[in-house]
Copies of this chain bind each other. A is one copy, B any other.
Amino acid sequence: MLELESHLCGRWQRGAGRGEPLVNPSTEEPLGTAASEGLDLAAALAWARDRGGPALRSLTFAERGELLRGLSRALHAHRDELIGLAIQNGGNTRGDAKFDIDGASGTLAAYADLGASLGAARVLADGEALQLSRSPRLAGRHLLTPRRGVAVHVNAFNFPAWGLAEKAAVALLAGVPVLSKPATSTALVAWRIARIFADEKLLPEGALSFLAGGPAGLLDALGPQDALAFTGGSATAAKIRAHPAFVERGARLNVEADSLNVAILGPDVEEGSEVLDLFLADVARDVTQKAGQKCTAIRRAYVPAGKVEVVVERLRERLQAVRVGDPADESTGMGPLATARQAGDVREGLAALAQAAKLVTGGGRREGKGYFVAPTLLVSERPAPGDAVHTREVFGPAATVVPYDGTAAQAAERAAWGGGGLVGSVYSDDRAFLAEAVLELAPHHGRLTLGSAKVAAQALPPGMVLPLLVHGGPGRAGGGEELGGLRGLAFYQQRTALQGDRALLDAIVGKAR
């Protein structure tokens, strides 16, 4: 059976112990193990800092961008192989796997373009020179330099390719070496990617390390210039935040956690309209794509009270038409959940939702092998702020329709019951409604998509995270921020104000960009 190795200190190493299992979630057959016991993670981080850091900092942004271009191309060249592994280890349908893998190569390509646009600079200027006193000679400028630590990336099980690539793209372009740790249960794709990158020698030595298996001891080895970008559950995030690496030692932390994302149907949207179809398609897709295992998936669909009945009926039809089964089969619309534990959590979560909302379809358990759960729709009849619909993220194929009075104010108020989200979507052609909804929803969200007739044909789904737009959200969603083009680099950089002779600062910083 396959034993996944880690790439640390420039060589592939296997940890001791039995390790954690990787399983095919459709068949429950074991695929391999990943063990990290005894690996010297402090040495691995030191290696990354001492070798990878200087190597990356010596490159221009354009050169770092070229490295990312090479990674993007390598993923594309191995696309079919990676899709196969995602079907096998992730329970992904072919479409699910493409969403992950093409998202990875696309994000790397977008950051390659950003690198090219920054040209021969190695550090970035932030803003222009400022006059600080009556003398025009004395100026202030802000400079962004790469921090001298390691970017440690701890990814979730749902996007093994995209999670690795989007985080690495940003850190590497910033000039900071990466240690990437995928969730063990679905690590096959990430491990294969790390092998491809290493075998094809696409990066300088020390620029990308890879940890397969548990992360014990990893946080203890973080120093003040290191950074951890974590994607995962909010309970784990809370534990991480309290670790001395962050509380005492000054390492940086970015968290992307739970989110009860909302989709809001405007009161103006009529049956038969393109906008209603867009809303229905987005909700149904988010229930079934990756079996609902997307941090950006719509969990709560707000519908004006008078339209709940028709919307529920239309969604029920769509969800019941989805064929659940073996993701290797081209006719399958939805595969299993990724692990037995996820399936258990989702079933528990559905039971909690059913206390607060009425089950419309789904909710059951399929007989036989595999971690299958049917696409599930509920409708909340008496929405209340503390109920499970607004407080429990069920990370699987489920959404709840919630009625509201058709005002942007009430939709936003009820959306905020979720405690902060990654993404919300609003469907309307009423500009006043949209404008009010945006201003009321924005403080509680990292991203908002506006579905109107003018863009219905070319709209990108709310669940798709785009490299040029920020990804993250306040409150329950973790309070973090990734991507957003160059905005994402800030997490790996130190911003420093400079003051002095204007010509001198321009000579130092002017070269920067």
Contacts and interface: CB of A to CB of B under 8 A. Distances in A.
Given A443-B494, A450-B498, A474-B224, A138 B247 contact: no
A424 to B, nearest CB: 9
Of all A-B residue pairs in the complex, the 7 with the closest CB atoms, nearest first, are: A450-B500, A469-B497, A250-B475, A224-B475, A447-B497, A442-B496, A145-B442
Contacts of A479: 250, 252
A341 interface: no
A455 interface: yes
Contacts of A503: 454
A497 B448 contact: yes
Contacts of A505: 450
Interface string A107-149: 0000000000000000100000010111101101011011110
A28 interface: no
- Copy tally for this chain in the complex stands at 2
Interface string A437-460: 011011111111111101100111
Interface stretch (A165-173, A238-246, A352-360): A238-246
Contacts of A442: 123, 143, 145, 494, 496
Contact of A499 (B130, B238, B248, B460): B460
Nearest to A223: B475
A476 interface: yes
A194 to B, nearest CB: 27
Nearest to A144: B442
Contact of A448 (B247, B419, B439, B496): B496
13 contacts: A130-B469, A137-B455, A145-B439, A225-B444, A250-B420, A250-B476, A443-B494, A447-B498, A450-B498, A450-B500, A452-B501, A471-B497, A484-B497
A208 interface: no
Contact of A500 (B451, B499, B507): B451
A282 interface: no
A281 interface: no
A436 to B, nearest CB: 10
Interface of A is mostly: mixed
Given A238-B247, A242-B242, A448-B498, 10 more contacts: A142-B470, A224-B475, A225-B474, A250-B419, A250-B479, A431-B507, A442-B494, A455-B501, A469-B497, A481-B495
A450 B250 contact: no
Contacts of A216: none
Q: Sort chain A's interface into a size bin.
A: 35 or more
A508 interface: yes
A186 to B, nearest CB: 27
A468 B132 contact: yes
A439 B501 contact: no
Interface string A337-354: 000000000000000000
Interface of A: 123, 130, 132-135, 137-138, 140, 142-143, 145-148, 224-225, 238, 241-242, 246-250, 252, 419-420, 431, 434-435, 438-439, 441-452, 454-455, 458-460, 466, 468-471, 474-476, 478-479, 481, 484-485, 487, 494-501, 503-505, 507-508
Nearest to A466: B132
A476 B138 contact: no
A475 B454 CA distance: 49
A5 to B, nearest CB: 32
A454 B419 contact: no
A454 B504 contact: yes
A252 to B, nearest CB: 7
Given A147-B474, A225-B474, A450 B504 contact: yes
A136 to B, nearest CB: 10
A225 B140 contact: no
Contact of A476 (B224, B420, B495): B224
A503 B485 CA distance: 22
